[in-house]
Structure 1
Amino acid sequence: MKKTLGLILTLVLVLTLAACGGKNNAAESPSPDAGSGTATNSPSAKPVTVKLGIFKNVTHAAGYIALEKEFFQKQLGEHVTIEVQAFDNGSDFSTAIATGQIDLGYVGPGPSTNQFLKSSNFRVISGADNGGAVLVAGKDSGVTTVKDLVGKTIAIPTKGSTNEISLRLLLEQEGVKITTDNSGAQIVARAPSDTLVALRQNEVHATLIPEPWGTQIEEEGIGKVIVPWDQIPPNNGDYPLVILVASDKFISEHRDLAVAAVKANLEAIDFINANPDESYELINKRLSELSGKGLDIALIKAALSHMKLTSDVSEAAIEEMAKVSIEAGYIKDVTVDTLDLSKFLDLSILEDAKSGK
């Protein structure tokens, strides 16, 4: 009896030790999800705040959808807090990213290239939208072709903007000089809403403006589109109008989050293409939040039909536009011959996002 009891106690002790050892091994072994790179599955991930910049413009539709559908939140992870900052123009945005006020965001290549050549501390990591700007002439301007712009005044949203660069290229290819007198065309900066008033009063005679402003001008009977979006240079509308950029500091410290942001951008582009009707409503919702005023859904639909949503980035087109900025005097201390944008684009992040890394 004593032998039997001793055997039983020994067996219980052995089984208990085996069980404890099994638990220790399980705790030390990684779970199937460990190392997957999914931030939401990592309880040890430190809280991070990501500051994202975006414009109050429908051409930034991919960013709007990525926010509204929470693609950014899903891809960046639950440990990330996203702070959105809205901008009215590329100059303010570019200054903000160069000075560390934001980490990444959507902007045009014109002002961002100008700023990069000064500060060299942020990079293009993806495209978002190609094209989406049109040349509109006022109804009482007497302008029906680009050549009619001699002696006329043309408005662009801001000096040095991508729209101004396109306008300069368009005038050059049509043989129209840019002057400060009636021997050529004069360029002035006007906010889009002010441009509508100026066209109506014939204070400016035309504008190269992003959608949906061009469509709105036509619908209100203020003017008419004389050069559609797919004929605007460079490359007949297939040029980067909106790109996704990130600061060097952000890329260095959080490259995984930069890749995640590009994944969210890709997801948003795919969603818009697959679900246009739902996208129009979501874009209008975010636009209303950022600007305090929404748009007629028909305008948003028209605007999206006049642009090409894509993550692709043409380095050649950005370089061509930079040369225009140099010749216009917006880029100082750099000549066309010494222009070097090789470090401005870091498309390895886009490649990683597309490959699922």
Structure 2
Amino acid sequence: MRKIAWMLLLLFIVTTLSACEEKLTATGKPATVRVGVFKNVTHAAAYIALEKGYFAREWGDDVKIEVTAFDNGSDLSIAMATGDIDIGFVGPGPATTFFLKSGNFRVVSGSNNGGAVLVARNGAGINGVKDLVDKTIAIPSKGNTNEISLRMLLQQEGIMISRDAGSAHLIVRSPSDALISFRQKEIDAALVPEPWGTQIEKAGLGKVVVDWQAIPPNRGDYPTVIMVASDKLIQRHRDIVKGAIKANMDGIAFIRKSPEEAYGLINNQLKQYSGKGMEKSLIQASLSRLKLTTDVDVKVMEDMAKVSIAARYLKGIKAEELDLSPFVDLSMLAEVKSGQ
């Protein structure tokens, strides 16, 4: 029995090592690159890069591209931390949280900034942030970029968050469920990424009371979608990461140059990954309320992370000791920009 047990253990070790062994193409590239995106129009640059074949152009036809669409940043960040995807497009909030836990992936580029709005339900008596006292406000998920922005917005007006009277009350609702909650008068307001604010307005259920360029931090010019890559990919296949950065850059350039054509291509990707498309007017509204950019402001990311620390989403670290410079590696972005 002991001999059989040792043989089974040995087989397990060999199988595990084999599974961890990287499969390469004849040219030494990874046989498969796993890319993570959201089922959201804010990932427009990544959608265009996929639809136009920019990733395949940069990596070569012998590299298989495996795309996984996620519903939220926490799930995608967990997948990055556990090595289930190689490159991801995600918000800085959950990405920072899971980087500080795992330390095995890095920010390599930006993709877009801003894109969220505060929308209030008709009849709720909300015309601005000061009116959010004793109101119930929806956020897409705990600790995500939108909640961080909402906490900053409330802090600017000196409004506390709690269940007590005289405070703002937070509730988690996905953006699609927020629209239903508006109808049922379950919530009074929501801080949501576009196009959900526009959809709520078009449905006659509410109005945008704080537009994207007034949402903190940095008046809307804060990272909402960043590109992250695993340390393993960066160390072994720096050229693959640079190719992804170039594909993202070209996706941004295409949207700027050919917005009308881009709307249809983005919709194709939305249909593929979310199961349903979106009206052109909604895609247009979304892209008009964000800033497509590869730039990443580390200081702004640190300001957002400090809000997460105060909310106890990030534990075991003091705000004054926070340093996200190891999390951000823009050296490959700089090389791509300079044509290297």
Q: TM-score with structure 1 length normalisation? A: 0.87
Conserved? CA contact 1:132–1:210, under 8 Å: yes
Counterpart in the other structure of 1:155:
138
- Runs of 5+ unmatched residues, structure 2: 1-24
Partner amino acid for 1:256?
D
2:76–2:90: 8 Å Cα contact kept in structure 1? yes
Matches within 5 A, 1:182-331: 182-331=165-314
Structure 1: gaps of 5 or more residues? 1-41
**Structure 2 residue 77 is matched with structure 1 residue 67:** no
Aligned with residue 180 of structure 1, among 163, 169, 172: 163
Deviation at 1:182, TM superposition (A): 2.2
Residue matched to 1:22: none
Kept in 2, the 8 Å contact 1:153–1:205? The answer is yes
Size of the alignment, in residue pairs? 316
The question of whether the paired residues in 2 share the 8 Å contact of 1:178 and 1:187 is answered with yes
The percentage of aligned residue pairs carrying the same residue is 59
CA RMSD of aligned residues (A): 1.1
CA positional deviation for 1:145: 1.1
**CA–CA distance in 1 between the matches of 2:47 and 2:136?**
33
Residue 109 (1) aligns with residue 116 (2): no
Between Structure 1 and Structure 2, whose CA radius of gyration is higher? Answer: 1
Give the C-alpha shift of residue 339 in structure 1.
1.1
Q: Deviations over 1:199-248 (max 9, x none)?
A: 11111100000000011110111100000001000011001000000011
Q: Provide the rounded CA distance (Å) in 1 between the counterparts of 2:299 and 2:121.
A: 33
1:304 deviation in Å?
0.3
User: Counterpart of 2:319 in 1: which secondary structure?
Assistant: coil
| TM superposition score normalised by structure 2 | 0.91
The alignment partner of 1:343 has SS state of helix
Deviation at residue 46 of structure 1 after TM alignment: 4.7
Q: Find the counterpart in structure 1 of residue 74 from structure 2.
A: 91
Letter of the 1:199 partner, please give it: F
CA contact (8 A) 2:29 2:237 kept: no
8 Å contact kept, 1:152–1:182: no
Partners of 1:47 and 1:119 lie apart in 2 by: 23
SS in 1 for 2:94: helix
CA contact (8 A) 1:47 1:79 kept: no
Q: After the TM superposition, list the runs of 4 or more consecutive aligned residues in structure 1 that deviate by more than 3 angstroms.
A: 42-47
Q: Deviations over 1:164-187 (max 9, x none)?
A: 000000000012111112220011
Q: Deviations over 1:40-84 (max 9, x none)?
A: xx9734552000000000000000000000001101112211000
